[in-house]
Amino acid sequence: MQRIYFFLITVGLLISCGRSDDSSLHLSSIIPLPAEIKSGSGNFELVNNTVIYIPQPNEEWKNVSGYLIGLLQPATGFQFSVQNGIGEKGICFQSIDEKELGAEGYRITINEEVITIASNQPQGAFRAIQTLRQLLPATIESSTIQNSSWKIPTGSIRDFPHYGYRGAMLDVARHFFSVEEVKRYIDLIALYKINFLHLHLSDDQGWRIEIKSWPNLTHVGGQTEVGGGSGGFYTQEQYTEIIRYAQERYITVIPEIDMPGHINSALASYGELNGGTIVPAEGRLSIAANANKILDGKSKPTELYTGIEVGWSTLRLEKEATMQFVSDVIRELAALTPGPYFHIGGDEAKVTKKEDYIQFINRFQELVKANGKTMMGWEEIAQGEIAPETVVQFWNAPKYARMASEKGSKILMSPAKKAYLDMSYDSTSTYGLHWAAYIEVDSAYLWDPTTFVDGIDSQNIIGIEAPLWSETISNMDEVEYLLFPRLPGYAEIGWTKTETRNWDEYKVRLGKQAERFRLMNIDFYRSKKVPWVNGTISSNEF
Ligand code: TNX
């Protein structure tokens, strides 16, 4: 057998044993940083007619191998075939039973003849593909055939995530994003092994998911957005299509209906839900759709809203229709959603009486449970009688995170000062808000979910999520500008142990992603904090 030199990455230090060429595995810029990397000598070269071996000829393995071929084919122009069993040459997926790797972990062993990808489940193999993809030259991301040689340095990687929940949120309510745009968002987060997509499906400015028992929600409440654009919504079939696309990438969709506040789009759709909410003058919209809607003859619906103020609308417990509405919405949406969670919002209910708010949260929790899901909500829900399995999403007030911890509930870390993707990078940024902070790329990376809030039990923390609110952004270029290059850092905080993370080492790996971003047409923010490696990018693009 060939002589193999091993290299190990520990505590962010690169310890090399004599090799210094660019081709060794430990110098590859994988994000998130894997748990263990060992370098060998020599290369595997991907060639035409490579065989991909799968352990079982079932749908799931066909999907995983098909996904890999879909990644490799456009830039290489190669043909691939899929066979069952174990091969000695090519790319070989293997099923193993190695407890520590869990559902998402994997081992990749690369020698000159074969790349073996071993995992407990196909999900682990899918995460491994994202690593493999980053081991290939960045030109693999090109959509046209490239004249490269497709070499991968030999060695091995053993890897598994620190947190089981690594999420990204997209607010499709303030501005609507089409199914195709959401699919692109899913593809971008999949590259960094994000495994939850939280969709903020309703807010004052728009209702984005068809509810068959309450059709006006979308016919009226879905017809506008911030700034007065025409809005939009997903039919139930389209929502199911988003879920299917995410599932193929081992990403679980979490639907959010924001209640009892942030609810004007529903109050504008059904008068019987409106118990006296006053729409702020700036942003009030009385359009024809609003005037023509079916009224119940008793209560007047609110006007539609296109501004960006928060905290002024509420559902009313005393309205007869309210709990019927809530239970129908939760029932229909839970039935469409295969994932375990249902997010009920619960934030900034500033005009809801405190005792009513608590009752709302308690009743939402019962309904979510009755529909077979686990409730999630923004940090304020910690005031309710929340169950141990309920997930409290921390965003701003440490007292609510502590309250959740004391009640033994789960905590998801999304501190606005660190993890809000809608915060501007600096005071010169065109997009984003800055009420919580300006968040440069280093600041976004430099925090630890277990110590960010004092006095909470780190055992309760299930992971991190980076929310992208869309008040200031309305198309994918703008989404990508706020997402990149911060998202890879959030992915690493979720995946890689804090002790092995180091900004000075990370920023080098991040800088090497520039060409990949360019080839994926990602419109990213060229932070001065990152040593970008231009690749083929002309310097005036920076
Ligand atoms: C606060 S975070 C909100 C959202 C806004 C966001 C803007 C949270 C639970 N509520 O309604 O979109 O700030 O940064």
Question: Residues 380-404: pLDDT tens digits?
Answer: 999 999 999 999 999 999 999 999 9
pLDDT at 9 over 80: no
Is 15 exposed, middle or buried (CB count within 10 Å of its CB: 0-12, 13-18, 19+)?
exposed
Query: Is there an atom of ligand 1 within 6 Å of 348 CB?
Result: yes
All residues at 6 or more sequence positions from 129 whose CB lies less than 8 Å from its CB, including other chains: 64, 67, 68, 71, 117
DSSP 36: E
Ligand 1 atom with least separation from CA of 423: 14
| Residue to mutate, 169, 198, 203, 348, ligand 1, most ligand atoms under 8 Å from C-beta | 348
Query: 43-47, 296-300, 323-327, 432-436: which range is least confident on average?
Result: 296-300
| Residue to mutate, 469, 470, 482, ligand 1, most ligand atoms under 8 Å from C-beta | 469
Predicted TM-score (pTM) of this structure: 0.94
CA distance 488 to 30: 10
CA distance 215 to 234: 12
Q: Residue 462's closest CA among 252, 303, 261, 305?
A: 252
Q: Token pair of 253, please?
A: 């969709």
Which helix (H) or strand (E) segment holds residue 203: the answer is strand 202-203
pLDDT at 108 over 90: yes
Q: Are 511 and 531 in contact (CB under 8 A)?
A: yes
To the nearest whole percent, how much of the chain has pLDDT over 70? Answer: 92
Residue 293: per-residue pLDDT: 52
All residues at 6 or more sequence positions from 296 whose CB lies less than 8 Å from its CB, including other chains: 270, 271, 272
Residue 341: per-residue pLDDT: 98
Ligand 1 atom with least separation from CA of 348: 10
Residue 378 CA to ligand 1 center (angstroms) comes to 10
CA distance 178 to 201: 12
Distances 343 to 256, 330, 511 between C-alpha atoms, Å: 4, 10, 35
Ligand 1 atom with least separation from CA of 345: 9
Q: Are 404 and 386 in contact (CB under 8 A)?
A: yes
Q: Within 13 A of 375's CA, how many CA atoms are on the CB side?
A: 30
Active-site residues, by number, are 348
- pLDDT 10s digits, 442-463: 999 999 999 999 999 999 999 9
CA distance 61 to 57: 7
